[in-house]
Structure 1
Amino acid sequence: MDNFSQLQAFMWANEHGNFSAAARANGLTPSTISKLITRLENRLQVRLFQRGNRSLTLTEEGSAYLVSAREVINAMAEADSLAEAFPTRVSGSLRIHTMTTFAKHQIMPWLPEFLATYPGLTVDIQVGAQYVDHFDQGLDIAIHSGVLPDSSRIARKIGESAWVTCASPEYLARRGTPVHPEELMTHDCFNFGFNSAWNNWQFVVNQEKVTIAITPKAVFGQGDLLRDIALGGGGIVKLAQFHIGADIKARRLVPVLQAFDIPAKEPIYLIYSNRKHLSPRIRAFRDFLEQKLLQAPWD
């Protein structure tokens, strides 16, 4: 038994006046109560009770120990009462890592509403194009797309997004619209500046998946820069639908080569460290995010 069990047995015995009554009141046997108190006395190297035939009497040392024991029991009761409120209280700081484009185009539009709903919560959003496992450094949530590395983390699919080859109407009017993936080799194309599967421009040609080895005119370390150069009429880019869905709806960007698109979409995951005892702040953000993405707003 642990020290707290010994402490509880001491308090119960003092409250009920003997081992038998203390045992009956707490679903134990008299011998269990007696053994716990004996271990406590051996650990403290003092006698806490004078044992009579039918009753117990605190020794001087026992009376002094009772004062401290009550403080410990009261502190534990207070801690438990605070813990009972945790499932319904959303407060503290929530640390999130996600793609810059997802933060800007899918989180920022509704973040003020989320913060107003949970005024006791602060949010720290860290961004980067690629997934990093910083949970051991205090990260609460990561949101990323594509293939994730094998790990013990929990990855919950919250949506999926196609990748769209597109350009501005101005560029297509000036250079013509490609009608076959191989024509991309003669167009001004732009790509990411880091090693990523996103740099593979894949299409289905004659029922086979092919990769077009474009030669980018420039590369960028951030998806919004690719979007900006496409919006400015610079050329053709391939970006996630969650990133440029609004631009396509507004005809600021026009999809090309759709007849050759790969039908599979890329999953988007919400990642956290442990399935059990999920904190209220993580659960609140997860539920809010899933509600906002329920209809895949970029489609």
Structure 2
Amino acid sequence: MDNYSQLLAFLGAAEHGNFSAAARACGMTPSAISKLVSRLEDRLQARLFQRGTRNLTLTEEGAAYLVSARAVNNAMAEADSLAEAFPTRVSGALRVHTMTTFAKHQIIPWLPEFLAAYPGLSVDIQVGAQFSDQFDQGLDIAIHSGVLPDSTRIARKIGQSRWIICAAPEYLARHGTPEHPVQLLDHTCFSFGFSSVWNTWGFVVEGHAVTVPVVPKATFGQGDLLRDLALSGAGIVRLAEFHIGRDIQAGRLVPLLQSYGQNDVEPIYMIYSNRKHLSPRIRVFRDFLEQKLASSPWDTR
């Protein structure tokens, strides 16, 4: 039994004074309105109307019920109006997890503009080198590159980035520029301190895939420390183009061994938990990010 339909039929009858007028207003038949009101009276075990030949008159019980019925209907209307605003209202806290270097070099530059555009939104950016599924703990978005683990999450490709071996002009002036991948073994190199494909320095030599077993002089768990060492002229590093693209464009770092097919391209994904009913805060962040990355601002080719 639809209690709310009974309540609406009662309100219509009370407002219009008879079942026929209430039926026209509600798009129903007079008999349907009458039956709903009768069921409501049976459920409440109280007579709500005195039924005349042409008109209805509220009983004392009906007048008391009308006050409560109007309050319930107003509350329902208010709830519906709030729900209708959900698809467009952008507010609350957005939790994002991404790589430290991506946050620093690709999000921070435009984040103030984004926050100014959506003043009701706050952003909590958490960083880590590798993807960790924290959606059950309230994470909204993850942004990571490379091969992702099998998951039921939604992974949307938002760009791609090459891995580039490079060094500062000062280092190359002092130690020479390697002309063949194997010559890297005679240079000072730095890499990541954790197990990752990012530490694989691969090339194509005479049509064959070759990996040079670079022995790093020092390793770090954070890419910006590798970048700092390279910029200081201390040695050679292998880093993502989204991380060092501006340094290469400005001449602060020089790509090496490009003719040996060292062109590892890695996709960059935005990951979220569900494709359906995407919240406004996730949708606007996704659209803003995609707009900023549409031109691949780090591309050095």
8 Å CA contact 2:163, 2:263 repeated in 1: no
Unaligned stretches of 5+ in structure 2? none
Distance across 2 between alignment mates of 1:34 and 1:180? 92
Percent sequence identity is 73
The whole-number CA distance in structure 1 between the counterparts of 2:213 and 2:81 is: 62
Q: Which whole-Å deviations, capped at 9, do the CAs of 1:202-233 have from their partners, x for residues lacking one? A: 22222233333322222211111111111122
Query: For structure 1, which segment, 196-205 or 97-106, has the greater mean C-alpha deviation from structure 2 after superposition?
Result: 196-205
Tell me which residue corresponds to 1:138. 138
Q: Which residue of 1 aligns with 2:11?
A: 11
Residue 115 of structure 1 aligns to a residue whose secondary structure is: helix
Unaligned runs of 5+ in 1: none
How many Å separate the matches in 2 of 1:209 and 1:28?
76
Counterpart of 1:129 in structure 2 is 129
Q: What does residue 280 of structure 2 align with?
A: 280
Residues 184 and 19 (structure 1), Cα distance of their counterparts in 2 relative to 1, 3 Å cut: farther
How far apart are 1:104 and its partner, in Å? 0.5
Structure 1 residues 39, 177: CA separation in 2 closer, same or farther (over 3 Å shift)?
farther
Map of 1:120 onto structure 2: 120
TM-score (norm 2): 0.85
Residue 254 in 1 paired to residue 261 in 2?
no
Q: For residues 54 and 136 of structure 1, what CA distance do their matches in structure 2 show?
A: 61
Q: SS where residue 162 of structure 1 aligns?
A: strand
Asked if 1 retains the 8 angstrom alpha-carbon contact of 2:100 and 2:129, the reply is yes
1:49 paired residue number: 48
CA distance in 2, matches of 1:93, 1:148: 26
2:220 is equivalent to residue 214 of structure 1? no
| Matched AA of 1:47 | A
Contact 1:49 1:56 in 2 (8 A): no
Q: Deviations along 1:102-153, whole A, 9 cap, x unmatched? A: 1111111111222222222222111111112222222222211112223332
**2:267 aligned counterpart, secondary structure:** strand
Structure 2 residue identity aligned to 1:95: R
Q: Spell out the pairing of 1:17-96 with structure 2 (5 A cutoff).
A: 17=17, 21-28=21-28, 33=33, 45-47=44-46, 49-50=48-49, 52=51, 58-96=58-96
Matched, 1:187 2:180: no
**2:226 paired residue number:** 226
Distance of 1:238 and 1:264 partners within structure 2: 11
CA RMSD of aligned residues (A): 2.7
How far off is 1:74 after superposition?
1.0
Which amino acid in structure 1 is aligned with residue 48 of structure 2?
Answer: F
Deviates more, 1:127-136 or 1:177-186: 177-186
Structure 1 residues 178 and 11, CA, compared in 2 at 3 Å: closer, same or farther?
same
Q: Shift of residue 85 of structure 1? A: 3.7
Q: Contact conserved, 2:162 with 2:240, CA < 8 A, in 1?
A: yes
